[in-house]
Amino acid sequence: MDKMYKKIKTGGVILDIDGTLWDSTEIVSDAWIEAFKIAGIKEYDITPDILKGLFGRPMNEIAEILMPNESPETREEVSSNCYLLEHRYLEKNKNDIFFEGVIDGIIKMSEMLPVYIVSNCQKGYIELVMKKGGFESCISDYESYGNTGHCKAYNLKLLSDRNHIKAPLYIGDTEGDRQACEKAGVPFIWAGYGFGKPISYLEKLDRFKDILDII
């Protein structure tokens, strides 16, 4: 029997990416490993599970955690190479890494109200995700750490204000997402199938498509 949800009035839904829309950790871990090889760094082991615990953080924090003994300059160089490789690997990937029901859910949701994306990702990542999913026309606006140099709370507020969204909702999967929503004053919906376990949330989704029963 499907879970019964209480309807929530919203003027727009804002989406996280990693752990909410798809799982790219296996591909991204390959990109980090290759970037380390290029830099001649051998002591760090990057796995999909390690990345699942880091996704959602700003990119500079991830680099610092993954390379604690390297200089800021080395971290920046390795990170830049990683992001280039990541885009290349994701573009070439033929496997479907979107969670079940995401693409169809976004399309159906966009017919009901505006849909947005805010992520702590690098510049160009959101565009790549939309292209891979074929739902570019469904997304009304988006913002990222790579575009603004600011974290998720700032970008949530920025996107909400410039689009005049009344009562926005954010769907994410981590405690970091919850904290960003709290700072931005945006209610947080937990993608319970994702990577994290936030300490609180307005509602939990067992499947992405369940959002259609809430809005």
pTM for the whole structure:
0.93
Task: Please check the confidence at residue 101 and state whether its pLDDT lies above 70.
Answer: yes
Task: Please check the confidence at residue 88 and state whether its pLDDT lies above 70.
Answer: yes
> What is the pLDDT averaged over residues 31-46?
88
Residue 55 is predicted with a pLDDT of 87
Give dist(CA 4, CA 39) in Å, integer: 52
The set of residues, in sequence order, having a beta carbon less than 8 Å from that of 54 and lying 6+ positions away, is 61, 62, 65, 66
Task: Please check the confidence at residue 52 and state whether its pLDDT lies above 70.
Answer: yes
Task: Please check the confidence at residue 64 and state whether its pLDDT lies above 60.
Answer: yes
Average pLDDT, the chain: 94
Burial of 165 (0-12, 13-18, 19+ CB in 10 A): buried
Residue 4 is predicted with a pLDDT of 72
Q: Give percent of the chain with pLDDT exceeding 70.
A: 99
Task: Please check the confidence at residue 1 and state whether its pLDDT lies above 60.
Answer: no
Task: Please check the confidence at residue 198 and state whether its pLDDT lies above 70.
Answer: yes
129-183 pLDDT, tens digit per residue, is 999 999 999 999 999 999 999 999 999 999 999 999 999 999 999 999 999 999 9
Quick one: pLDDT band at residue 185, thresholds 50, 70, 90?
Answer: very high
Quick one: pLDDT band at residue 9, thresholds 50, 70, 90?
Answer: very high
Q: How is residue 69 written in tokens? A: 């003994």
Q: How is residue 130 written in tokens? A: 């939309």
Task: Please check the confidence at residue 59 and state whether its pLDDT lies above 90.
Answer: no
